[in-house]
Amino acid sequence: MPMINEHINAHRVRVIGANGEVMGIMPIEDALDVAAEANLDLVVVSEESDPPVCKILDYGKHKYDLQKKKIESRKKQKFIDIKEVQFRPFIGENDLMIKCRAIKKFIEAGDKVKIALRYRGREVTRQESGWEVIKKVQEFCREFAKEDSPPKLEGFTIIMMLSKK
């Protein structure tokens, strides 16, 4: 049986047996012979160590197990989307409540919400109206959301991030 990583340029390797027992440091040829006797492969586990560490195992079964673990970890993953809700500084009260209910729905679904209040043109000279809208949104969301980043003005936009409490 050939060694899986044949580009190892060391003459001696530390060998770990099929059952996890440390077999010690031995020449590569002897390690390959031990693996061939067990009808298994010699796989390099750690190439950087001195001497390199090799393990005797069934490489096909090892690859299969790694693939199964990867699939299991993907199943358990929860993808968090970032939803963006945009406001204007002179938004009506009913429109504001509709957008706040949308924020609540997104957060209850487990998503993060980016709140962006955009000024257009000369509206930026009257920033107090925009900050009032942001304060109303904060009051509405205080019960079910926490602020990941406090509101801050970046150019013509006030940005704030919310997530589930």
> Number of structural domains, the chain?
2
Both 58 and 119 in one domain: the answer is no
Residue 120 has a pLDDT of 92
pLDDT at residue 34 is higher than 70: yes
pLDDT at residue 165 is higher than 50: yes
42-93: pLDDT as tens digits: 888 888 888 889 999 999 998 999 899 999 888 877 777 899 999 999 999 9
Find the CATH number of the domain harbouring 94.
3.30.110.10
Both 45 and 117 in one domain: the answer is no
Residue 94 lies in a domain: yes
What domain range is 53 assigned to?
A: 12-75
Q: Is 42 left (phi over 0), alpha (psi -120 to 50) or beta?
A: beta
Rounded to whole angstroms, what are the CA distances from 34 to 49, 58, 77? 21, 13, 40
Which amino acid makes up residue 153?
A: L
Q: Given 75, 95, 128, which residue is the final one in a domain?
A: 75
Both 94 and 158 in one domain: the answer is yes
* More confident of the two residues 9 and 80: 80
Question: Is residue 69 within a helix (H) or strand (E), and if so which, with residue range?
Answer: helix 59-76
Q: Given 22, 56, 75, which residue is the final one in a domain?
A: 75
Contacts with 44 (C-beta within 8 Å, 6 or more apart), sequence order: 3, 4, 5, 8, 13, 52, 53, 54
Cis link prior to 89 (omega < 30° from 0)? no
Find the CATH number of the domain harbouring 28.
3.10.20.80
Both 93 and 112 in one domain: the answer is yes
Both 40 and 109 in one domain: the answer is no
